[in-house]
Amino acid sequence: MNRVTTRVALLVPAVLLVLGASAHAQPFRGRVVVVPRPYVYAPFYDPFWRYDPYYPYAGYPVGRPNADVRTEVTPKQAQVYVDGFYAGVASDFDGVFKRLHLTPGGHAITLYLEGYRTVTQDVYVRPDSTFKLNETMERLSAGQASEPPPLPVTRPGRFAVRPRQG
């Protein structure tokens, strides 16, 4: 073989590998063919235009940070209200993987159960942390009534409910 034939014989497979072309003569009917692209090494080095496919990529955080509240309340049937809105029963938020997910910041957590003294606690939950709420509710004596559960907090604004006049 002469030199030209040797170069062509070596160049054609190299071009096919770089371009990722398929070497099959017959198409696969009804099947998807994935041809992997080869790793091409750039023989130059420029720290500004770094070419390294295995460079660690940190990515961006997804979503907003959240804060968790774990309730260790006795009795476990107590109703939990956050900022006046019903969140659930205290036993729903007291397990290993059970948490009350909130936005970070200040919240008013109220525990209500008929026949027990209503407990309201203002808490500040930090981002990406768990706040433990330990509380034992006091049973009321005969003839005493529990405070009613709180109403949702309405902030003045576009959607605030205003009483009718006239």
pTM (global) more than 0.75:
no
- Among 84, 122, 87, 94, smallest CA distance to 106 is for 122
Instruction: For residues 26-51, give the mean pLDDT.
Output: 57
Tell me the pLDDT tens digit for each residue of 89-132: 999 999 888 999 999 999 999 999 999 999 999 999 999 899 99
Q: Which architecture characterizes domain 67-136 according to CATH?
A: Sandwich (2.60)
What are the boundaries of each domain within the chain?
67-136
**pLDDT band of 56, cuts 50, 70, 90:** low
Location of structure tokens 């709420």: 133
Which token pair is 45? 């080095």
Tell me the pLDDT tens digit for each residue of 70-83: 999 999 999 999 99
**Cβ 106 vs Cβ 75: under 8 Å:** no
- Among 131, 137, 92, 95, smallest CA distance to 114 is for 137
